[in-house]
Amino acid sequence: MKRSCNFILALCFASLQVGAQVNRTDSNGFALVAIHSVGPQFELQTGTNSIPAGIVNRFIFGGFIKNESIDNFESNMPSSLRGGAAMRFEISNKGQFLWTGKGVWKHPRVSVFHEQNAGFQMNDDAFRLIFKGNGAYLGQTLNAKIDQARRFSTYGLNLQWAKRISSGSSPNWKQMWWSISPTILKGYSEINAFTASVLTDSLAQNINVDWGGNIRTATLKNGIAGWGMLAGFGYRSTLSSPTFKSWSIELKDFGAFKINSLKDYSRMSPPGAGSINISTSFATLTEIFGGEWFKGRRDSLIDQMEIDSSSASKWVLSPFQIKLGLEFKKFIVSLDWRNLPGYIPSLKMQGVMKPIAKSSAFKWAPGLTLGGFDTWNIDLHTGLDLKPRLKGGFSANASVLGIESLAFPGKQHGLGVRAGVLFSF
Amino acid sequence: MKTKWLIPLLGLMAAGCSRKTARWDNNVALPLFETHLTLNDVDQRFLVNTASDTGYNLIYDNLVYSGRSLKVTAPDTSINTAFTLRRLKLSDRSISQRITLGQINPLFNLLNGQTVDVAAQDQSNLSPVDIDASAFFETATLDSGFLDITISNELPVNVKLVVFELQNASDGSFVASDSFLNIPQGGFAKKSINLRNKTVRKNLKGVIRRLITDASNGPVLIDAKKGVEVILTVRNLRPRDAIAAFPNQTVIDQDQGLVLDMGGPQVKFFKVKSGYLKLMVESTIQENMTMNLEIPSASINGVSLKRTVKLPGAKPGGREIQEETVDMTGYILDFRGVNPTVKDTVNTFHQILRVTLDSSGRKLQVTLNDSLRIYYALTDLLPEYATGYMGQTLNKNAGRAPFALFKGADGNIGFKSFTASVLVKNSVGAEGRVKVNKLECENIFSKNKVLLTATPLSGNIIIPPSPFVYGSASEKKVVLDAGNSNIKAFVENLPQWIDYDLDIETNPNGNVSNWKDFVFDNSSVDVYLRLEAPVSFTVGGLNLRDTQALEIESLPKIQRVKSATLILDIENDYPIEAGVEITMLDMAYQPLGKVDIEPGIIAPGKTGPGGTPLASTNSVVRATINREKAELLQKTRFLAIKAQFKGDGTQQKIYNSYKLKIKSSLMAEYEAQL
């Protein structure tokens, strides 16, 4: 995951939005009450099916992972591991146009965003090689396998329009929205069907390695790996019912990235040889996995290998999201899926936010999530609303996803954070 | 503007987005380097001390020439056979068709069942009769084959003449025609028609062009359903183009000896060290095929090599290919021919190749354009050993060989006493003859050359075959001394090069072994110049040195090594204890510090009588590089290895073939980051 965020571009866009004031009518003559608001939003979601939260959290937030943590997990490790993380930072004008009739939301919601998405599916021996190294398994064969792994790092500008289809006076109004996002790809790498059989003898004099599959990393040109155009579409329909409020469907950030140069660090077996013997080398297997190792090595191993390090441009599908939502009077149910390895369909249930005390600006709601990067999470959603729909208003929200992982860091569970503030003026 | 305060706030939030790295310890185990320390790595300054008060007898064998004139290689041998439909056949089959009396003359239908006199008949071009020949094939154009037409007379009269013609019903084209004479009642006549170049289809018409019968002898019973029965039999069909159900058949059947050109040697047996048998079958024929290949001459553990390749029928217009590669390592090839008990020959192997067509019962189209290609090849065969008669070969060899003992040394060095000899080692299983025409040495620093003149080298050196043991050799030593040569002046020239001119002959007396010569893959005739001299290493012992590079500069993460253990796996041939010292050197070869090795002493190797190495001893020593020294490791670009031998005061022989083999590896605790 990228170590720092560059928001210069974001600030430029944000500054364009601050201070503008609009007060118009829509195409049907209905008055639009325009209240401009702006604020940052941050969302982070992590998880695995089995790796303890203590390890995952270090991965996400940094820090040293103790050997004991890795050893403890290894003793109960399942054979198949999956997981990932999705982070989005966004600054947007919230576009709180409160219309009174049907019509098009003429001023688009504008936001700049930075996203980092990564996911993987691999087996236990791959974990052993990455987290403990071959030195911990002398005389043993490790059959590491990474079915799939993807990492995206993007910056983009999102323009979103909305249209209210039915009259605002109707209790059963419908709304649709669509968006486009010209996006810069700052980093991309992928691993496909990678297998590595590694046997290090007891004195580490020979390492037999037999691997296949491919490791591809985008080459940066002027700091950019590629570009893409993403599009989104959503539809919401409200219903007048004692228990049910609305349903919605959304396709978010669907599109493709054109990668200028994707370097392939594949290894072809030499004719007649089933494995490679490393007899004189100095490299770490994590570097081998990361593909970095191939760049500087010039030893006998390279002579034995026919490494295909060719580069080629490529289109890749974005890590888009599909969401289905059902809003009841007392709770909300949503189902979503991301185009990322390690992410399984996620079912979220959340109570409707309620004030902590009568007339309090502070609200909260519990939640439960099944699936996603994780297997299950207990969530806590909080919010603070101070005249959010009026000039000079302020609202904030903060959600902790996977709250149980804080209580049991030694157990598997992901952690997520969603937070944002909104200033209205 | 009242919202301007938002901008610095957003900037602060963005700056706070920086993420720390995740870190964990990784145990990396990697091989580092492998080195062999020999007397070529000796500190030169110790060689100038020739005092024989104590110390060692240095035996230095300098290889002048090594010849592998008897390198036996089997040429790549391949069989590439293509065949076409001429090798295919169709089944022999028969069908019958009756032409009734009613069909011959409808009048007899009216007389059916009556007993009447039948007058003589002479009729022409009777109505054609349909004949279903689908039992033969759908259609076939034939290269060769026969149609037998048998006509049986069921009429109540004698037949004097029948002219019978066969046509293809679809286009009326002519197939066959013949006349049959004098067929008595109840008798038959048979004619064979050559079907070469004829196209026959399954729907035929039989036409009686003329029928002459005798009158009956008195009244006879008329049975209109009886007549003449035509029996058509096809046999020996070789189609050029056919749509038919082909029967099971063998299309290739080879059982023969194949002679290989071994380039001179007459080989009886050959054990394969490496090599492959490659098989490929390619067919456009729509029927299933099977290739059975057997090489009785190739066996492993007493089992001969057999391979079966199944080839499904090709799709119309397509081709089917099956390939297989067999690793021949370990196989013994018997080159004595097909049946050595009958005829014992050389360079000939026995192979059996059979290809069968496996009938699926389907009617398939096969034409002369269809082909079946069989390719099999013995490739890249290298022998572990070969036996037979290796031939009489004479090689004249002239060239220049390095003399490494005095590399880098010059000046006026005198040896107090030494012995020298020309040593010939023969690891070929055949008698050899070596004639030394010239040995001249050169000191490249002084440009001085000395031609060796030695009475014992004026004649031939005959050397017997080596024992049949891998790696063994027979030896013949010709001792040179001051009385029979100028060897002292030759050696004291401190040469770096030796120019040689040698004749080396194999089997100078012909096939005296009766095809029992042998050669291993490493067999050679080697000529050494051996120097044996007492040397003293009393000061500081005998030190062997080497320097190994570490390509650490290619590792940007070396600074994250927290601690490490250097492991040295050492095999010692020397009959003396050795101490090992490792010093880390920087890029300018300046020492950064020594690593502490435990234990520091390497056990001596075992030697036999005369000091010849019997077995090396193996020792594993470790050097711990702690956190402080790990920082030095980051600066290390080279490792200096010093092996120090200290004697116990007894006289010992040291051969330059001794090795101190060091394999090293590094186990490091390394902080991975992501």
CATH number at residue B664: 2.60.120.660
Q: How high is the mean pLDDT of chain A?
A: 77
Which structure tokens are listed for B138? 């759908």
pLDDT of residue A81: 92
Does residue B512 sit in the same domain as residue B423? Answer: yes
* Residue among A212, A71, A208, A70 at smallest CA distance from A141: A208
Report how far apart, in Å, the C-alpha atoms of A216 and of each of A291, A297, A312, B54 are. 8, 18, 10, 66
B588 has a chain A CB within 8 A of its CB: no
- Nearest-CA distance B618 → chain A (Å): 13
* Residue among A99, A107, A96, A95 at smallest CA distance from A31: A99
Of the listed ranges A75-79, A125-129, B371-375, the one predicted with least confidence: B371-375
A88 has a chain B CB within 8 A of its CB: no
Q: What is the pLDDT of residues A198-225, one digit of tens each?
A: 888 898 888 777 767 777 788 888 889 9
pLDDT of residue B373: 84
CB contact under 8 A, A135 and B13: no
CB contact under 8 A, A7 and B10: yes
Beta strands in B335-447 (DSSP E): 348-358, 364-367, 372-389, 393-402, 419-426, 432-443
Interface test with B, best of A9, A284, A301, A417 (most B CBs within 10 A): A284
User: Which chain A residues touch B554 with a CB distance below 8 Å?
Assistant: 296-298
Nearest residue on chain B to A139, judged by CA atoms? B29
State phi, psi for A287 to the nearest 5 degrees: -70, -35
pLDDT of residue A241: 82
- The residue behind tokens 């157990």 is A411
CB contact under 8 A, B11 and A278: no
* Residue among B184, B31, B67 at smallest CA distance from A299: B31
Give the span between the Cα atoms of B584 and B564, in whole angstroms.
14
Q: Would residue B224 count as lying in a domain?
A: yes
B6 has a chain A CB within 8 A of its CB: yes
- Nearest-CA distance B597 → chain A (Å): 16
User: Which chain B residues touch A133 with a CB distance below 8 Å?
Assistant: 26-29, 670, 672
Which residue among A40, A284, A299 sits closest to B10, beta carbon to beta carbon? A40
Q: Percentages helix, strand, coil for chain B, rounded to the nearest 5?
A: 10, 55, 35
Give the span between the Cα atoms of B532 and B550, in whole angstroms.
37
Nearest residue on chain B to A12, judged by CA atoms? B7
pLDDT of residue B255: 87
The residue out of B389, B408, B428 marking a domain boundary is: B389
pLDDT of residue B257: 84
A273 has a chain B CB within 8 A of its CB: no
Which residues on adjacent β-strands are paired with residue A63? Answer: B22
A423 has a chain B CB within 8 A of its CB: yes
B452 has a chain A CB within 8 A of its CB: no
Q: How far apart are the first and last CA of chain A?
A: 35
A129 has a chain B CB within 8 A of its CB: no
In chain A, what is the greatest distance between 2 CA atoms, to the nearest angstrom? 83
Which residue among B13, B25, B31 sits closest to A279, beta carbon to beta carbon? B31
Touching B: A residues 153-192, CB under 8 Å:
none
Which residue among B7, B21, B29 sits closest to A11, beta carbon to beta carbon? B7
Nearest residue on chain B to A64, judged by CA atoms? B23
Residues of chain B with pLDDT under 70: 1-20, 39-58, 69-79, 83-88, 368, 405-417, 533-542, 551-559, 609-613, 646-653, 656, 674
Report the number of distinct structural domains present in chain B: 4
CB contact under 8 A, B28 and A132: no
Enter the DSSP assignment of B589.
Answer: S
Domain of residue B614 covers 23-55+538-673
Interface test with B, best of A205, A208, A302 (most B CBs within 10 A): A205
Give the span between the Cα atoms of A262 and A151, in whole angstroms.
13
Q: Are B653 and B631 in contact (CB under 8 A)?
A: no
Which structure tokens are listed for B361? 């019962």
Give the span between the Cα atoms of A358 and A341, in whole angstroms.
44
* Residue among A401, A405, A422, A403 at smallest CA distance from A50: A405
The residue out of B519, B534, B549 marking a domain boundary is: B534
CB contact under 8 A, B31 and A425: no
Q: Which residues contact B553 (CB under 8 A, 6 or more apart)?
A: B637
Which residue among A4, A64, A283 sits closest to B24, beta carbon to beta carbon? A64
Return the C-alpha torsion angle B6, B9, B15, B17, nearest 10: -90
Q: Would residue B133 count as lying in a domain?
A: yes
- Using N-to-C axis directions, what is the helix angle for A67-75 and A124-131, rounded to 10°? 160
- Residue type at A140 in one-letter notation: Q
User: Which chain B residues touch A40 with a CB distance below 8 Å?
Assistant: 10, 13
Enter the DSSP assignment of B560.
Answer: G
Nearest residue on chain B to A295, judged by CA atoms? B554
B546 has a chain A CB within 8 A of its CB: no
Which residues on adjacent β-strands are paired with residue B309? Answer: B291
pLDDT of residue B71: 57
Q: Are A230 and A181 in contact (CB under 8 A)?
A: yes
Which structure tokens are listed for B20? 């720390």
Q: What is the pLDDT of residues A9-61, one digit of tens each?
A: 232 233 333 333 344 444 444 445 556 778 888 998 888 888 887 787 787 67
A15 has a chain B CB within 8 A of its CB: yes
pLDDT of residue A222: 86
CB contact under 8 A, A204 and B668: no
Beta strands in B71-187 (DSSP E): 77-83, 93-100, 115-117, 121-124, 129-132, 139-153, 159-168, 174-183
- The residue behind tokens 């939260």 is A53
B621 has a chain A CB within 8 A of its CB: no
Which residue among B4, B7, B31 sits closest to A206, beta carbon to beta carbon? B31
Q: How much is the CA Rg of chain B, to the nearest whole Å? A: 46
pLDDT of residue B4: 40
pLDDT of residue A167: 58
- Nearest-CA distance B575 → chain A (Å): 25
Give the span between the Cα atoms of A203 and A211, in whole angstroms.
22
Q: What is the pLDDT of residues A237-251, one digit of tens each?
A: 988 788 888 999 999
Q: Which residues contact B99 (CB under 8 A, 6 or more apart)?
A: B126, B129, B206, B208, B227, B228, B229, B230
Touching B: A residues 207-236, CB under 8 Å:
207
DSSP H or E segment with residue A17 = helix A8-17
Q: Are B194 and B142 in contact (CB under 8 A)?
A: no
User: Which chain B residues touch A200 with a CB distance below 8 Å?
Assistant: 29
Does residue B357 sit in the same domain as residue B403? Answer: no
Give the span between the Cα atoms of B101 and B516, in whole angstroms.
84
User: Which chain B residues touch A38 with a CB distance below 8 Å?
Assistant: 3, 6
User: Chains A, B: CB contacts under 8 A, how many?
Assistant: 153
pLDDT of residue A139: 93
Domain ranges of chain A: 8-424
Return the C-alpha torsion angle A132, A135, A141, A143, nearest 10: 30
State phi, psi for A40 to the nearest 5 degrees: -85, 150
* Pairwise pLDDT comparison (A394 vs B16), residue with the higher score: A394
Give the span between the Cα atoms of B199 and B242, in whole angstroms.
9
- Nearest-CA distance B2 → chain A (Å): 8
B369 has a chain A CB within 8 A of its CB: no
Q: Are B652 and B610 in contact (CB under 8 A)?
A: no
Interface test with B, best of A70, A200, A203 (most B CBs within 10 A): A203
SS3 assignment, position A293: helix
B13 has a chain A CB within 8 A of its CB: yes
Enter the DSSP assignment of B240.
Answer: E
CB contact under 8 A, A286 and B550: no
- Nearest-CA distance A292 → chain B (Å): 10
Give the span between the Cα atoms of B672 and A127, in whole angstroms.
13
Which residue among B19, B26, B567 sits closest to A204, beta carbon to beta carbon? B567
Give the span between the Cα atoms of A194 and B629, in whole angstroms.
37
Which structure tokens are listed for A45? 């979601």
Q: Which residues contact B217 (CB under 8 A, 6 or more apart)?
A: none
pLDDT of residue B415: 52
User: Which chain B residues touch A204 with a CB distance below 8 Å?
Assistant: 29-31, 567, 665-667
B4 has a chain A CB within 8 A of its CB: yes
- Nearest-CA distance B496 → chain A (Å): 31
User: Which chain A residues touch B567 with a CB distance below 8 Å?
Assistant: 203-204
Q: Are A380 and A400 in contact (CB under 8 A)?
A: yes
- Mean pLDDT across A292-311: 47
Q: Are B581 and B598 in contact (CB under 8 A)?
A: no
B122-128, long-range: CB < 8 A, 24+ apart: B122/B210, B122/B211, B122/B212, B123/B208, B123/B210, B123/B211, B123/B212, B124/B209, B124/B210, B124/B211, B125/B207, B125/B208, B125/B209, B125/B210, B126/B99, B126/B207, B126/B208, B126/B209, B126/B211, B127/B103, B128/B167, B128/B205, B128/B206, B128/B207
pLDDT of residue B79: 67
Does residue B65 sit in the same domain as residue B163? Answer: no
pLDDT of residue A353: 87
CB contact under 8 A, B670 and A284: yes
CB contact under 8 A, B19 and A62: yes
Residue A311 has pLDDT above 50, yes or no: yes
Does residue B634 sit in the same domain as residue B529? Answer: no
The residue out of B534, B568, B596 marking a domain boundary is: B534
